[in-house]
Amino acid sequence: MQDMIRWADFDGYDWLITMDCDEQHEPAAIPRFLEAIAANDADVISGSRYLDAASLVDAPPADRRSINRTITAELNCRLGLSITDAFCGFKAYRVAACARMPLNVDGYDFPMQFWVQAVANGLRIKEIPVRLIYNDPKRSFGGPLDIPTTRLNHYRSTMHRELARCATSLPCSECGCVEVADIQARCVAG
């Protein structure tokens, strides 16, 4: 992601739209992202598979939905967000807003870093509904991330590391202010 954002910034692009390559997203939804971009009221337009009940065509594997719910709730609480889907890869990014963020995570935990930095950098976030599609519910993450508790701990570790790194730039939320010592203790415990 960071290479794509740097390249787009260098070449003067205004927006990037991303979608997963595993057939979970429909290119036919891109015009809705373009409409949201035209409204000019967000820096990140994030697809959500859970924002609209009519979008729930398929059921996600139980562990994926549980982890998404847990992480989304933790991000919302810690960052004062109100997103419904922390992991959807169908997004539109305002290049100039994202180019200033020091992103360096490439794996499945990229959203943990992205959401924390988006809030720390004051990005405006908007969600739009996209269809939930799971063509292959047995698709593997590969290696240890196939174990749900390992995957959840991996996501939390990245989130806590990023919260600690950005603590002085983050607002207080319903969970209280983000305190570096609290996050470091959670990183050790979690």
Q: Write out pLDDT tens, residues 71-83.
A: 999 999 999 999 9
Instruction: Quickly state the pLDDT bin for 157 (edges 50, 70, 90).
Output: very high
Residue/partner pairs of 139-148 with CB below 8 Å, 24 or more apart: 139/22, 141/108, 145/108, 148/63, 148/66, 148/67
The greatest distance separating any two alpha carbons of the chain, rounded to the nearest whole angstrom, comes to: 46
Extents of the domains making up the chain: 2-189
To the nearest whole number, what is the mean pLDDT of the chain?
Answer: 87
Q: For residue 93, is pLDDT > 80?
A: yes
Q: For residue 186, is pLDDT > 70?
A: no
∠ at Cα 173 (170, 174), nearest 5°?
A: 165
Q: For residue 53, is pLDDT > 80?
A: no
Residue count (the chain): 190
Q: For residue 184, is pLDDT > 50?
A: no
| CA dist list (Å): 22 to 16, 26, 31, 135, 139 | 19, 10, 20, 8, 10
DSSP states along the chain: -HHHHHHHHHTT-SEEEE--SSS-S-GGGHHHHHHHHHTT--SEEEEESSSSGGG--SPPPHHHHHHHHHHHHHHHHHHT---S-TT---EEEEHHHHHTS-----STTHHHHHHHHHHHTT--EEEEE-----S-TT----GGGGSHHHHHHHHHHHHHHHHHHHGGGPPPBTTB---HHHHHHHHHH-
Stated pTM of the model: 0.87
Q: Which two tokens stand for residue 8?
A: 């787009």
Sheet (strand 15-18) strand order = 15-18, 91-94, 44-48, 125-129
